[in-house]
Structure 1
Amino acid sequence: MSIDYDGRRFRKLGGGDGTCAEYHQRGDLVWAVFEGGRVRRGTITGTCDAAGVLRLAYTMVLDTGEVIAGHSTNSPQRHGGTLVLREVWERYGEHAETGVSYLEEIPAAVPAGVAR
């Protein structure tokens, strides 16, 4: 599944807490900035392989002032017409934890006056 992530936006599956990431891509290099919900600001940087799998490092600052760092491997899946990333993540240091999350693509906004 070859995917160009440039300009795509993702949030936690089901809408989440309002955190939204906007991805950019140049060749196999991928990066994003995210914020919302409890996240004041976060960044992601990594690579994308030919199958669309992302290998990423991330940092974020929460509304509590906590700084979180970790890495994840995100595998693309299709659910209906929606692109979903299965994210296997690990946090480092005092916030050490592992888990699996799902991120869904946020559809591009439809301009006013355009029928769906």
Structure 2
Amino acid sequence: MSAPSLNGRLFRSCADVDGGEIGIETTFEYGELNGEIWAGYQGGAIRRGQLVGTRDGDTLDFRYVQLNTEGRTSSGHCVSTISTLADGRLRLEETWEWESQPGSGTSACEEISRP
């Protein structure tokens, strides 16, 4: 059984990401419809970011592009696996790779409540 839709859900990075620009101050707002996913994100070192891709079951496959607070752009590819935490919130386990520069890594985001 697949995790519920990501549509309208907010996520926050679980930790500062080694080799990346995402950190604990970065929040993501997801949309989902008919196997397509997208999100806008910002916070911490990220002034503005967008991701777009697809969902197959509990796997997301997307490209991201972002503008950091120093005015530099960067882009990459990420594959994420959705899981459900004991309290019912969703968690994304991510494996990412820069396409605009060298580097790759793993990270995680967890669903948060709307402020």
Both structures adopt the same fold (TM-score exceeding 0.5)? yes
* 2:24 alignment partner, SS class: coil
**Aligned residue for 1:43?**
50
1:3 aligns with 4
Taking only aligned residues, the RMSD between alpha carbons, in angstroms, comes to: 1.7
Q: Which residue of 2 is the match for residue 12 of structure 1?
A: 13
The 1-side partners of 2:114 and 2:58 are apart by 20
Contact between 1:3 and 1:52, CA under 8 Å: does it hold in 2? no
Q: Aligned partners of 2:85, 2:5: CA distance in 1, in Å?
A: 18
Q: What is residue 55 of structure 1 aligned with on the other side?
A: 61
Question: Which ranges of 4 or more aligned residues in structure 1 deviate by more than 2 Å?
Answer: 14-17
2:103 aligned partner: 97
TM-score in terms of structure 2 length = 0.84
- How big is the shift at 1:96? 1.7
Cα deviation code 1:22-50 (max 9, x no counterpart): 0011110111111111101000000011x
State the percentage of identical aligned residues. 31
Residue in structure 2 matched with residue 113 of structure 1 by the alignment: none
1:69 alignment counterpart: 75
What's the TM-score, normalizing by structure 1? 0.84
- Higher relative CO (Cα under 8 Å, sequence separation at least 6) belongs to 2
Q: What CA distance in whole angstroms lies between the structure 2 residues aligned with 1:90 and 1:65?
A: 20
* In 1: Cα distance, 2:75 partner to 2:5 partner: 25
Higher alpha-carbon Rg: 1
